[in-house]
Structure 1
């Protein structure tokens, strides 16, 4: 069983690389239930260059990508968990499929610390549905929340 001390770096699990690897660490993982990742929003991030000069706000589409990447972590951690239990399961790839009822509640600013949580809802074939959210640590506010669906190809 994976423990919090044994959680890998997101780059060990996801195919994304800079500048599209948006997650810094995996904070928690509960097998079969949820995963929480964290990231620091650097003031010099490329997304602030034009969104918006003088009043930088992290684009909402980047928050959505953080949610999808966190779902990808869950799928890959589940694969590792199952492999340790003796079941052979290697996750080959995954991709974003659907966004439902997504709301943006609070702007994300430079120097914010974010916690991105994906709670597994249900699965249909290779499609996994998650309730996801991005919380701004320190402000006690939710930046975005919604239901996202990912395809995970075993």
Structure 2
């Protein structure tokens, strides 16, 4: 299991944009599974939405991308590099994510060619699908 300090050794994201609290399991270059404990103190809840706080879908996708980035940047040849978004395909949102929920984030790398690849990502809450997408990344 990787905690915040270990995650920050792999990816460059920092508070308030680090959206992964821990990595439960990962296989470098293949897949990673992590978690985000969604609390009411998240800065985005001040405006999204004050009367009914909902985690923005784009931030769920970003959290998924960060988990995928842990998997791909864990490869020896990618250490110290940055993963950039190249595209988001087939994104679907099925369950709103609210304060107090534990967001499980899974990303499996399904294609790689040189510095470009694709990850299949799903986010769940209590086993219910919250979001899914195919995420294209570029290593720089």
TM-score normalised per structure 1? 0.83
Quote the Cα distance in structure 1 between the aligned partners of 2:103 and 2:6: 16
Q: Report the alpha carbon displacement of residue 11 of structure 1 after superposing the two structures with TM.
A: 1.5
- 2:49 — aligned with what? 52
Aligned twin of 1:83 = none
> Hey, which bits of structure 1, 4+ residues long, moved more than 6 A?
none
Question: Does the 8 Å contact 2:29/2:72 carry over to 1?
Answer: no
What's the offset of the Cα at 1:125? Answer: 2.3
- Partners of 1:148 and 1:123 in 2: how far apart? 12
8 Å Cα contact 2:30/2:72 also seen in 1: no
1:70 to 67, 86, 92: 67
In the alignment, is residue 124 of structure 1 matched against residue 92 of structure 2? no
Residue 93 of structure 1 corresponds to: 82
Q: 1:20 aligns with which of 11, 17, 29?
A: 17
Is this contact kept in 2: 1:9–1:26, CA < 8 A? no
| TM-score with structure 2 setting the length | 0.91
Cα offset for 1:5? 7.5
Superimposed CA distance per residue, residues 114-139 of structure 1 (whole angstroms, 9 cap, x where no aligned partner): 11111110112211101001111xx3
* Bigger-Rg structure (1/2): 1
**SS of residue paired to 1:72:** helix
Residue segments in structure 1 that go unaligned for 5+ positions in a row = 80-87
Structure 2 residues not aligned, in runs of 5+: none
Distance 1:14 1:5 in 2: 12
* Structure-2 residue corresponding to 1:109: 98
Tell me what 2:137 maps to.
150
Aligned residue number for residue 34 of structure 1: 31
**What is the deviation of 1:94?**
1.7
